[in-house]
Structures are given as structure tokens and as C-alpha cells.
Amino acid sequence: MVYVMTLSPEQDYSAESTSTAFGASVEKRADKFHEDNHRAANKLEAKLGTPAGATGLAEAELKKYDSGRVSGLAVGAFGEVSAQVRDLAGLVTCELSAECLAFFDIAKIES
């Protein structure tokens, strides 16, 4: 499950990271998605009356996808992207390549 959001267009995510590695702030923000979404699910569960420590409907739904891991697609101000964006781009590329190869029946031509 993927969705794109920002906390604030004025917030400087690069200030949150002390690393000098390129894209470190975007990776940190992408990793924060998981925590933020589970915290929001727990808050919703509490409002709905689910006892503390029990798995409610929102948490159960999150756990259906990738063992509950929520991946964030983070893009920085200078075009740096998180690993999840690169993974998604690779997946889309593979699917489009397979579709193209099937359309032109490349496998039969090569054999």
C-alpha cells in the first residue's frame, strides 16, 4: 500500500539528518512513514474503543500488506529519491518490458 504526503511544504527535512551522504534525509523521511502510519492506526483504534495492546481493524488491515510495513515514497528538493522510489521504478520497468516483449513475441524470434 502506497500513498504520497508531506507534513508541510515549508518543513526542511534535510535539517533532520546529520549524515552527509547524498539522499540521507529522504531515506530518513521514507523510513518515518512506517512509524507515522502505525501511530495513526493506533490512535484511530483508541478512538474506536479497541483496548490498548489489542490488534484492531486498522492495524489488521496494515498487516495484510508486506507484513505491515508501510513504505514511503520520498523525493527531496534536489531530486534525490528514497530506495522505495527506485524499487517502484524498477518494478514498473520490468512490467512494461514484459508487456513489450509479449506484444512483439520476442521470445519466439530469439529461439
Q: What is the tens place of the pLDDT at every residue in 3-54?
A: 555 555 556 555 555 667 777 888 888 888 888 888 888 888 888 888 887 8
Domain extents for the chain? 13-110
Q: Which of 61, 90, 98, 82 is nearest to 4 (CA)?
A: 82
Model pTM?
0.61
The residue-averaged pLDDT of 61-77 equals: 81
What's the rounded Cα separation, in Å, for the pair 5 and 16? 17
What's the rounded Cα separation, in Å, for the pair 55 and 63? 10
CA–CA distance from 57 to each of 3, 47, 69 (Å)?
19, 12, 16
